[in-house]
Amino acid sequence: MKAILQWFARFADEHPFALAWSIVLLAIAFVSRLNDIASWKEKFDWILRAGTFVDPITHQVASSPWLFGAVFALAVTWIIWLVLFGQAVVLRNRALQVKNERQTTAYKTLQGMMNAASKIRDRQHPAQMRPQKGIKSVRAVYLIEKDFTTQVTREYEIRAVNETIHYWNLSNSPTDYADEAEYLDDIDFKARETSGFGEIVYLPTKNEPRDKRVTFYFLPQLEPGSAARKVLLSFKWPRYMKKLGETGEEELSLSLSSVTEIESIRIEVYLEKGTGKNLEWEVTGPDYGGKVQRQKHPNLGWDGFVCLIDHAPAGTNQYAITAKLVDP
């Protein structure tokens, strides 16, 4: 119901004239459903006869004062409505123009802040001098709703190996099939530290409709020999996996860079009931000896699968699995 009301409000805002004519047509349809047109014509003829008479001097049909007053009031009311409606449209367009100007200014300001943050980061730690991290474990969960809006949760367990680590870069880019998202708040992006040994904060470093990049800062920094830190991030992107619905398949991949062996990688994918399709899979990335098995979500009961990879090799590697929709 909430979605219907939001759609109606958006339609009224974007197409006021179409809404007005729709109301008129609905009113005509409603009247025709109450009775037939002939019956309403009889009522109109009765009013017309009661409001007109033949002038005995000119022998012409003339209107009575009350009928003239009613028609005149109706015409004036219609003109006033048109003027007010036109004024509302003009004011709305002006408000939209001001809003767009403010959004443009806000976007430029945000872009400037992100560029500044990236330059400061890169100046302090040039690419060739950045300390390398070790990833202990990764877990990624994809909850795909019927309209292919997807709740994504990822948990990384990270540790410093030889040098202090102050920050970590992450990016997320869905396919062109996904809806655009203007800001991180539009996808309800959240990130937190779950190991209990500190906290993290983040700054966006790129904000395109289908390309979001952030830099996480560890507080305090990661030191060699200290306990691993867990970073939990989540977002819900509208129609994030729409390609799966349109083409019947979509690849899910993780690009991981670790100077040490990754003890465990776990990728879980679940599909909400009601699509009329079954969820299957195909391992499309390099073979790291992973195992894939069917699994139901423990709380939601959605069908899905889990891909498990133990002792993944060190280095920068791509881990990919393709989700597929098939007929039952």
Angle 211-219-264 (CA atoms, 0-180°, nearest 5)? 65
Q: Tens of pLDDT along 110-124?
A: 666 666 666 666 666
Helix (H, G, I), strand (E, B) or coil at 205: strand
**Pairwise CA distance, residues 269 & 279, whole Å:** 9
Give the model's pLDDT for residue 103. Answer: 60
Give the pair of three-digit tokens for residue 301.
Answer: 């009961």
Q: Tens of pLDDT along 170-190?
A: 889 999 999 999 889 999 999
pLDDT band at 166 (very low <50, low <70, confident <90, very high): confident
pLDDT score of 268 more than 90: yes
Domain map (residue ranges) of the chain: 2-104, 133-326
Give all strands of the β-sheet with 229-237 in edge-to-edge order.
190-193, 229-237, 150-160, 133-144, 262-271, 303-312, 291-296
6-10, 32-36, 91-95, 228-232: which is most confident: 228-232
**Pairwise CA distance, residues 17 & 29, whole Å:** 18
pLDDT score of 64 more than 90: no
pLDDT score of 30 more than 90: no
CATH of domain 133-326: 2.60.40
Give the model's pLDDT for residue 16. Answer: 62
Q: Tens of pLDDT along 134-145?
A: 999 999 999 999
More confident residue, 47 or 5: 47
**Cα dihedral sign, 271-275-278-279:** negative
Give the model's pLDDT for residue 321. Answer: 93
Give the model's pLDDT for residue 194. Answer: 93
Contact 133, 224 (CB under 8 A): no
| Encoded amino acid at 60, one letter | Q
Give the pair of three-digit tokens for residue 42.
Answer: 């009889």
Give the model's pLDDT for residue 128. Answer: 42
pLDDT score of 96 more than 80: no
Cα 233 versus chain centre, distance: 17
HSE-CB of 183 using CA atoms within 13 angstroms: 8
- Candidate from 49-63, 95-109, 127-141 with smallest mean pLDDT: 95-109
